[in-house]
Structure 1
């Protein structure tokens, strides 16, 4: 690998070795932090859940930026908007499914 920075025919950047190493190190740190949060048992259940959720969202952002090279440049705007719509649709399906399951369980209990 003689090149440290590659581009496509359209001139889009695919990152350098340094950016991949930074992304990898951040991903490892976030993973270790998640395991430490659970294994230390220093937090209550709900606090640990919130901390893990925040670490998961940060890790998703690290992967999107450092490995998938998503940014807010004009060429990437449509990709970013498509990704946002996809995330919104997945959230609607997940939250809707959880609501239906919770509602069904609440109304089917024998009183």
Structure 2
């Protein structure tokens, strides 16, 4: 029974990988926070940097905390995640497109 418990831990990361993920998360949060609190760049550049760091941080969380990788065991999870992300992007993107189109049509009259 103890062996069954240890075999399920094989998918979990080590303390080292969790610490790497934690430190990267702190860095990826502190830099955009500093850019917003102490503005030294144009607003558009700051926005793009914050968005890029947010995407990188999502990837760090997926790899180091959710253990998503290219292995055969994780293939179904990665495909499900990509499908969910695609559905969210389509839902939000098309909703915004509809709202802007309706606004443009309503303001034209």
TM-score by length of 2: 0.87
Number of equivalent positions: 104
Matched, 1:22 2:20: yes
Structure 1: runs of 5+ lacking an equivalent: 1-5
Q: Which has the higher contact order (CA 8 A, sep 6+)?
A: 2
Is this contact kept in 2: 1:7–1:14, CA < 8 A?
no
Aligned residues: CA RMSD: 1.6
Structure 2 unpaired stretches of 5+: 1-5
Q: Which structure is higher in strand share?
A: 1
Residues 27 and 59 in structure 1, CA contact (< 8 A), matched pair in contact too: yes
Q: Deviation above 2 Å: which 4+ runs of structure 1?
A: none
Structure having the higher helix fraction is 2
Q: Matches of 1:59 and 1:106 in 2, distance apart? A: 35
Instruction: With the length of structure 1 as denominator, give the TM-score of the two structures.
Output: 0.86
